[in-house]
Amino acid sequence: MKKLLKKSYLMTGIVLMLITAIVLTGCSSNSASGSSSTFYEGKSLELLVPFGTGGGTDTFARFVAPYLNENVKGSPTIQTVNVPGGGSINGSNEFVLSRKPNGQNALVTSGSTHMPYFLGDPAVKYELKDMKPVMGLPTGGVVYVNPETGIKGPKDLTKSNEKLTYAGISATGLDLVTLLAFEVLQMDVETILGYDGRGPSRVAFESGESNIDYQTTMAYLSNVKPLVKEGQANPLFSFGQLNEKGEVVRDPAFPDMPTLKEFYVKAYGEEPSGTAWEAYKAFLGSSFTVQKVIWLHKDAPKEAVEALSQGAKKAVEDPEFTKKGEEVLGGYKPYVGDQLDKVVKNMLNTDEEVTNWVKEFLEKEYDITRYQ
Amino acid sequence: MFDAALEALSIVLDPNRIPFMFLGISVGLLIGILPGLSGTVGMAILLPFVYGMDPYTGMAMLIGMAAVLHTGDTFPSILIGMPGSSGSQATIMDGYPLARKGQAGRALGAAFFSSMIGGVLGGLVLLVSIPIAKPLVLSFGSPELFMLSVLGLSMVGILSGNTPIRGVLVGMIGLMLGAVGAAPAVAEYRYTFEWIYLFNGLPLAVVALGLFAFPEMIELLAKKQSISKSEKLEGGWLEGIKDTIKHKWLVLKGATIGSLIGFVPGLGGSVVDWITYGITKQTAKANNNFGKGDIRGVIGPEGANNAKEGGALIPTLLFSIPGSGTTAILLGGLSLLGLQAGPRMVNEDVSVTLSIVWTLVLANIFGAAACIFLSKYISRLSLIPATILVPFLLVVLTVASYQSSRQFGDLLLFIGIGLLGLVMKRLDWPRAPLLIGFVLSQASERYLWISMERYGFTWLLHPGVIILGVIIVALIAGGYVLKRSTEKKDTTETANTA
């Protein structure tokens, strides 16, 4: 009897283990709820994040969720669901192919989702042109060099003391914008790709493995600014932001820093032009100016798009949103409403000629034939 | 610094924060105990709750989870021979044989006690290395990182017992499996057949579970017996603690290796326990009992895998370079808490960093104590007949595999690798080398590529590269010589007795 009891005790233990395992599988998402009126009254909204938990896009989605819940009419319950894999192609495909376009499913994309779309990756099944954006978040970046190169400004561009070496991750990621910037400036930079992320590539810069590098806004402010102060890095230019008219303007996070355009003008005495420059602008838009976008399906109900856009507008105006989101938003104000539509349209209106040029550029310089 | 440390301790011990640390600890232990679920899952579960907490509370919860994960994951490794989390399998090598001899209690006691000491030492290493972290991290360039992966790969021979050639072959298969998916340096996909599931490569958890857990289940079923061959469980946890104290230098060695390798960014923590196991075996006297139930084979890696967490936090917090899936999510948690990893963590936000150190220390002590208390009950798992135990395990393992990327491919891969593992086990081919090759495949390719691109062949002359090269050669040659001499001794001994 005693033995039997012990056995059943154990069995209960195992069953408990099982139950927790199953419950745990299903609960890696958060939720919030409330009630009011209109389309989302009593409904829920699922934010599909095509990346793993804890990454930039996931953090953005999780940060925005409670503000959308508060500000969207009807206060929908909002859940964040991660579908990682395939460098975000996987989850985005799943969104368009198998999630219902009933306004209760939204997709959160990032620059690395837009990139394979523009390059025409055969695995991509999503058509961004048809989808309805409701919120977009910009980010920026700054290119800096090691002072030992002797480069201080636009005039010294071609007079480097040593060979310029850039440590990057992959030519088809955010690095593409940097590589195009070098192309625009006609700089001779040896590119070494394969680093594990922007953090490791910054360490490569600090340890002397590379001598020219870029970091995105938040990483620049917290990790590179101290280096600039210590005299171990010279900032050259910021990538800038693409405005509603498709022009490169100063980055609000770096109001005192020249953009690539101004830098070019100072170096060469004329405005940049040509296909490389057009390509730079196109990929600057999709990789930085609208780095993260929340979308609804193309055939989502009109009321849903309307309610969510209005809610996003209200959320962005919430002073607490800006205050609490300093680290997550990187000091930028998200695009909403008409402005968002315009920047997204700009980003999507890329000439075929330009994308073809980029594909050729990738093949010629980096042996990438996947997109041909 | 001392005042700041005391202040941080009082922050951590604030009655309003303690419950959250314990919540983290309990989740960590539970995730550890469930075979196959690793720190990434634990982080993913806790992350949503972080929202709105103050930084100290949030960190106490997340770090509490990460700190004890490798304490809890010892249970399945020792009791059922299945990896408790993807990053910790070396304990199986000797812990499981001990459990089969009926000495589960002893093995667990030794494991938890060395985990605790290792974890506390890891926390101290984090504290001490804050001022010297920068030059240390910067001294590891790509060539040095490549040599470290080679050091890991050189364990392949040591871990293959009497069949080093087989070990090398299996290790190469591991390297090849690791090459599936997106290539590290060019925008190409390898062996994916345009199947999106394979774009990100094979998930480590599925490979580890398939390789170790699946064959074990089949064998248990085939033999229709419980894990422990003897009906009685001899040797309590006290004996294990005594073992650990006896081998105190081994714990220290394990903890040192653990925190050092944990701290090197880019290598990933998953090989720490294997490297420690290899070195422990290689440098131990009379090491022919390793793999058959030598308590030292438990103490070394267990001391290391908890110490690793402290080391791994250095590049994460100071350079925002996550060394593992767990620390990658931790970075996300930091920004949700309004913090940004970087030099600020040792200047303006030093109190948060110090509170992390304290949490590591406290969580390791509490976690080990809880495990020792629980071990009395949980170690009875090894007495359950296989026909009852295995169906439950099968469900747990399937859920755990599917958790990796929540795609159908996870299940197919689990069965595929599982069958491979079964064949290897039956034919007595070593399986650990496959895992080592798999884990180090990306890192070794990446850093070799970068080294060649950046330096040509001149990287071979970097001082760090030469030092690591000498260590590797010494380890391999030392092992060979040691083996020859013990073999000779064995033969003379047998000759004498004959």
Single pTM value for the model: 0.83
Candidate from B401-415, B418-432, B456-470 with smallest mean pLDDT = B401-415
Q: Count of CB atoms within 10 A of residue A129's CB? A: 11
Instruction: Work out the pLDDT band at A1, boundaries 50, 70, 90.
Output: very low
Residues in Cβ contact with B462 at an 8 Å cutoff, skipping those fewer than 6 apart = B141, B143, B144, B455
Average pLDDT over residues B193-210: 85
Burial (CB < 10 A; 0-12, 13-18, 19+), residue A266, is middle
Distance from CA of B8 to the nearest CA of A (A): 23
Contacts of B453 in chain A (CB under 8 A): 192, 194
Contact A368 B34 (CB under 8 A): no
Cα distance from N-terminal residue to C-terminal residue, chain B? 66
Residue A16 has pLDDT above 60, yes or no: no
* pLDDT at position B266: 63
Q: Specify the pLDDT at position A19.
A: 58
Helix ranges (DSSP H) in chain A: 2-26, 56-71, 89-98, 111-118, 175-184, 198-206, 217-219, 225-229, 260-268, 275-284, 302-317, 319-324, 326-329, 337-348, 352-366
Is B186's pLDDT higher than 80? no
Q: Give B56's pLDDT tier (boundaries 50, 70, 90).
A: very high
Report the chain B residue with the minimal C-alpha distance to residue A368: B187
Say whether residue B187 is in contact with chain A using an 8 A CB cutoff: yes
Please indicate whether, in this complex, the C-beta atoms of B196 and A66 are within 8 angstroms of each other. no
**pLDDT computed for residue A5 by the predictor:** 44
SS3 content of chain A, % helix, strand, coil (to 5): 50, 15, 35
Q: Is the pLDDT of residue B494 over 60?
A: no
φ/ψ (deg, to 5) at A71: -105, -15
Task: Give me the CATH code for the A141-286+356-366 domain, please.
Answer: 3.40.190.10
What is the model's pLDDT at position A32? 37
Neighboring chain B residues of A361 at a CB cutoff of 8 Å? none
Work out the average pLDDT over A159-169: 91
pLDDT tens-digit readout, A90-148 = 889 999 998 999 999 999 999 989 999 999 888 899 999 999 999 999 999 999 999 99
At B422, the pLDDT band (50, 70, 90 cuts) reads very high
Among A200, A142, A192, A139, residue whose Cα is nearest residue A170:
A192
Angle, nearest 10°, between helix axes B237-246 and B350-378?
Answer: 130
CB nearest A200 (choices: B321, B339, B396): B321
pLDDT (0 to 100) of residue B298: 92
Better-predicted residue by pLDDT, A36 or B11:
B11
Beta bridge partners of residue A110, listed in sequence order: A292
pLDDT tens digits for range A186-199: 999 999 998 888 88
In contact, A371 and A120? CB cutoff 8 Å: yes
pLDDT per residue over B34-44, tens digit each?
887 888 888 88
Of the candidate ranges A140-149, B15-24, B224-233, the one whose mean pLDDT is the lowest: B224-233
At residue A27 the predicted structure's pLDDT band, cuts being 50, 70 and 90, is: very low
> What pLDDT, on the 0 to 100 scale, is given for residue A358?
94
- Taking only the tens place, the pLDDT of each residue in A73-85 is 999 999 888 888 7
Alpha-carbon gap, residue A198 to A196, rounded angstroms: 7
Task: Report yes or no: B101 at the A interface, CB cutoff 8 Å.
Answer: no
pLDDT computed for residue A84 by the predictor = 81
Q: Which residues 126-155 of chain B have a CB within 8 Å of chain A? A: 137-142
- Residue A87 and residue B200: Cβ atoms within 8 Å? yes
Suggest the residue from B335, B401, B440 to mutate for an interface test with chain A (most A CBs closer than 10 A). Answer: B335
The answer, yes or no, to whether residue A35 has pLDDT greater than 50, is no
Tell me phi and psi for residue A81, to 5 degrees.
Answer: -120, 130
Q: What residues have CB less than 8 Å from B474, skipping those under 6 apart?
A: none
Nearest-by-Cβ selection for A209 from B189, B199, B454: B454
- With 60 as the cut, is the pLDDT of residue A272 above it? yes
Contact of B197 with chain A, judged by CB distance below 8 Å, is answered with yes
Q: What is the pLDDT of residue A173?
A: 86
Q: Where are the domains of chain A?
A: 29-138+290-335, 141-286+356-366
ipTM of the complex: 0.82
Phi, psi of A241 (to 5 degrees): -125, 150
Q: Has residue B22 got a pLDDT over 60?
A: yes
Q: A289 near A216, Cβ under 8 Å? A: no
Yes or no, beta carbons of B319 and A199 under 8 Å apart = yes
Instruction: Give A350 or B116, the one with higher predicted confidence.
Output: B116
CB spacing of A87 vs B199 below 8 angstroms: yes
Name, in order, each residue with C-beta under 8 angstroms of A291's C-beta and a sequence gap of 6 or more: A110, A111, A137, A138, A139
Q: How far is CA B33 from the centre of its chain?
A: 14
**pLDDT tens profile B85-130:** 765 688 998 999 998 888 888 999 999 999 999 999 999 988 888 8
Report the C-alpha gap between A295 and A292 in whole angstroms.
Answer: 10
* Segment B347-363, tens digit of pLDDT: 788 889 999 999 999 99
Cβ pair A180, A141 in contact under 8 A: no
- What whole-number percentage of chain A has pLDDT above 90? 61
Q: Are B83 and B212 in contact (CB under 8 A)?
A: yes
Beta carbons of B200 and A27 less than 8 Å apart = no
Contact B148, B264 (CB under 8 A): yes
> Domain A29-138+290-335: which topology?
D-Maltodextrin-Binding Protein; domain 2 (3.40.190)
- Mean pLDDT estimate for chain B: 85
User: Beta A105-110 vs A292-296: how paired, if at all?
Assistant: antiparallel
- Considering only CB atoms, B184 lies closest to which of A7, A194, A326, namely A194
Angle between helices B39-50 and B55-72 (to 10 degrees): 160
What is the pLDDT, as a whole number, of residue B127?
87
pLDDT grade for B488, boundaries at 50, 70 and 90: low
The span from the CA of B386 to the CA of B219, in Å, is 9
Question: In chain B, what percentage of residues exceed pLDDT 90?
Answer: 31
The yes-or-no verdict on residue A18 having pLDDT over 60 is: no
A48: phi then psi, degrees, rounded to nearest 5: -85, 120
A29-138+290-335 and A141-286+356-366, same CATH topology: yes
